[in-house]
Amino acid sequence: MNMNRRDALRLGAISVAAAATTLTGCAYGEAKPSKKENKTNSSVGMGTPAPLPPATGKRVVVVGGGWSGLSVAKYTKKFAPNADVVLVEQRTEFISCPISNLYLVGEVDLEFLTHDYLQAARENKYTYFNATAIGIDKANKIIKTSNGDIKYDYLVLAPGIDYDYSAWNVDTVTEQRLRSEYPAAFIPGSEHMTLKAKLEDFEGGNFILTVPGGNYRCLPAPYERACLIADYFKKNEIEGKVILLDENPDITIKKEGFQSSFDEMYKDYIEYHPNSKIMSIDLDKKVVVAGEFDEEYSFEDAAFYPHVRGGKLLEVCGVAKDNVFNKKVGNIDPFTYEVIGEKDIFVSGDARPMGYSKSGNTSNSEGHYIGKLIAQRVNGKKDIPWKSPLTVCYSAVSARPIHAISVRAEYEFEGKKLKGFTNVDLSQQWRGKTGLNNGKALNEWAKGMFRDMFNA
C-alpha cells in the first residue's frame, strides 16, 4: 500500500491522540517517581503509568511469557486468587521451541507450535500485557516497560536466553550476518522459519550445525536436529551431509541413543566432530576452521549455534552483571529463586544461574513451584519446602513414524551446592516398539505441556 505525506500526517495525529487517550485512561498514582528513586535504570522508560486498572490485590508482575513465566503466572493466580497477576511479554503470540525440530522437516505445522497469550490469560484469570521490560526502579518497586510503568509487590524475571557470540571472536559485522543469514534457531519464531526455508531450498553439499560449550539451551536438541535433517536428506534423496561441529569432547546427553542413530541410520548423512570449537568463520568463502588442529570445513549452508547467556534483561534490572550473579549485584537463592539483597525479585527459567538443564519441562515445573511459593507470601503464609524441578525430554531421531529416545531426571543439592541428577530414567532405545512408543509419548508430552500453560 502506498501512503502519501498527507495520509502519513493524519495517521500520525490519530496515533498521538489514541496514545494520549490510553495514557490518561490509566491508573495514575500507581507509578509516580519519588525522591527515593533508585539509580538503576530509573531514567529509562515511559515515565508514565502503564494502561492497566489499579491493582486489585498484591501485584505480581512476571516478565517473559515463555515456558517458565506462563507457569509462574498461572500457578501464582491459582494458589492466590486474590493476587493481581500481570504477565509482561514482548511477543504477540507464543511459539514453542520444543517440537520445532519436527517443524523444520515438515513433520508438524507451525500451528501446533503457536499458542494464544490472551487465551492463557483469560482462562487463568491474569492479565497479559504486551510490552517489553526496559528498566526498573527498585526502590519504588516499579518495572518500566515500552508501554508504561508498572508497580509491583513481587517481580519475576523470566526472559529466557540471549546468544553470546564472544567465544568465536567475530566482529560485529560477522556477528550480525550470523544472526540474520545463519540463525541458530534456538530462540523461537523467525529463526526457525529461516532454517526451514534453508532446508527446503537445499540442493546438496555440506550443512553445518554446531553444538556450543557451557550450559546451552536444550542439551539434546542439536543432536536431535542433526538426526532429523539427515533423515530429511535421506528420504528426499538430497545428496547432503550434516557436519556437526561439537565444542564438547563428546555427545553431551543420551549419547548411546544418538551415537547409534548416527552410526546405524545416518552413516552417509552425518559427520560428527567432537572437540570442534569454532576458531574462525569466513562467510564469503563459506569456510569454517574448528578444533585444536584447525580443521577446515566448507559448507553450502549452515545454522550456527553460539554460546548462550541469561537474557540481557537481568543486567538491565541490575540483578546480574555481564551475566554473572555475585555478591556485588545479587546472588540467587537456589531454593527460592529470589535475588539475594533484592527483596521480592525472583529469576526463573533458562535465565537462572543454577546448573539445571535449560529445558522447557524444567522451566515449567520450576514455575509451578515459584508460583506456589509467591502465592504463600501473598497469602502471608510460610514458604513451602523446596521441590526439585523436573527435567523430561524426548528427542526424535527419525520421522514418519517418529522414533524417539528420552530422559527424565530430578536434582539434588549438597548444602547450597547443586550436586547433580537424581532419579534418572534414560530410554536410549529408538529401535522397534520402544522407539515408537517414545515417539508417541513425545507428542503427548507436548500437548500436555501446552494444555498446562494455556488452559485453566
Ligand X SMILES: Cc1cc2nc3c(=O)[nH]c(=O)nc-3n(C[C@H](O)[C@H](O)[C@H](O)COP(=O)(O)OP(=O)(O)OC[C@H]3O[C@@H](n4cnc5c(N)ncnc54)[C@H](O)[C@@H]3O)c2cc1C
Radius of gyration, CA atoms only, the chain = 23
Q: Which is nearer to ligand X, 278 or 314 (CB)?
A: 314
The residue with cell 523470566 is 158
Pick from 395, 432, 98, 421: which is nearest to 256 by CA? 395
**Does residue 428 belong to the site contacting ligand X (CB under 6 A)?**
no
CB of 434 to ligand X, least distance (A): 18
Q: How far apart are CA 336 and CA 346, in angstroms?
A: 8
**Does residue 310 belong to the site contacting ligand X (CB under 6 A)?**
no
Q: How far apart are CA 330 and CA 295, in angstroms?
A: 42
Residue number of the CB atom closest to ligand X:
66
Number of residues that bind ligand X (CB under 6 A): 36
**Does residue 311 belong to the site contacting ligand X (CB under 6 A)?**
yes
DSSP for 44-66 reads: -S-SSB-S-PPPSSSEEEEE--S
**Does residue 318 belong to the site contacting ligand X (CB under 6 A)?**
no
Pick from 140, 133, 136, 134: which is nearest to 65 by CA? 133
Bridging pattern class, strands 161-164 and 307-310: antiparallel
**Does residue 63 belong to the site contacting ligand X (CB under 6 A)?**
yes
Strands, E, within 283-358: which ranges?
287-290, 295-298, 301-303, 307-310, 331-332, 339-340, 345-347
Binders in 158-197 for ligand X, by CB under 6 A: 158-160, 186
Q: Is-cis flag, bond preceding 54, omega within 30?
A: no
CB of 191 to ligand X, least distance (A): 9
**Does residue 49 belong to the site contacting ligand X (CB under 6 A)?**
no
**Does residue 97 belong to the site contacting ligand X (CB under 6 A)?**
yes
The answer to whether the beta carbons of residues 265 and 233 sit under 8 Å apart is no
**Does residue 438 belong to the site contacting ligand X (CB under 6 A)?**
no
**Does residue 330 belong to the site contacting ligand X (CB under 6 A)?**
no
Piece of 86-94, 273-281, 373-381, 417-425 that binds ligand X (CB under 6 A): 86-94
**Does residue 218 belong to the site contacting ligand X (CB under 6 A)?**
yes
Piece of 85-93, 135-143, 293-301, 379-387 that binds ligand X (CB under 6 A): 85-93
Piece of 257-265, 269-277, 353-361, 424-432 that binds ligand X (CB under 6 A): 353-361
Q: Which is nearer to ligand X, 97 or 375 (CB)?
A: 97
